[in-house]
Amino acid sequence: MLLYRTLQVVCVLGLGAVLAGCFTERGKEGKLLYGRHCSSCHLENGEGLRGVIPPLADSDYLDKHREELACLIRNGLDGPIQVNGRIYNQAMPGNRSLSEADITNILNYLHQEFKSPATRVSLAEVKRQLQNCP
């Protein structure tokens, strides 16, 4: 009986480690994608280029425009936006080569790293947003 109980505990702990590894890998993927597609303008630390490129770190835009973020990443942005009370009017190129999963990973990385770690964006949410892009 003790052996059976020990095996149960080992299996549960092993499953937990595997699941934790999966979520960690997704976080790494989001960071990698951000570095490849976003950091040249928004910088590695998310501060942006003062007065030209808006910050992502501590940005009110991420919360206020959550429903638009997937479309913004996919299609880019042209025209003025307001971030933290400041107007920015620099075009942002879109990236149509990013998959729905890539965009989901980037958005989760943005929230984890720069805004609210408890916020999670699901793949279903990103798919819905992309279907409704203007």
Contact 105, 34 (CB under 8 A): no
Burial tier of 78 (Cβ tally within 10 Å: 0-12, 13-18, 19+) = exposed
Q: How much is the pTM?
A: 0.79
Model confidence over 10-33: pLDDT tens digits?
444 444 444 444 445 666 999 999
Q: What's the pLDDT tens digit per position in 55-110?
A: 999 999 999 999 999 999 999 999 999 999 999 999 999 999 999 999 999 999 99
For residue 2, what pLDDT is reported? 57
Domain covering 25-131 assigned CATH 1.10.3720.10 in the classification: no
d(CA 109, CA 94): 18
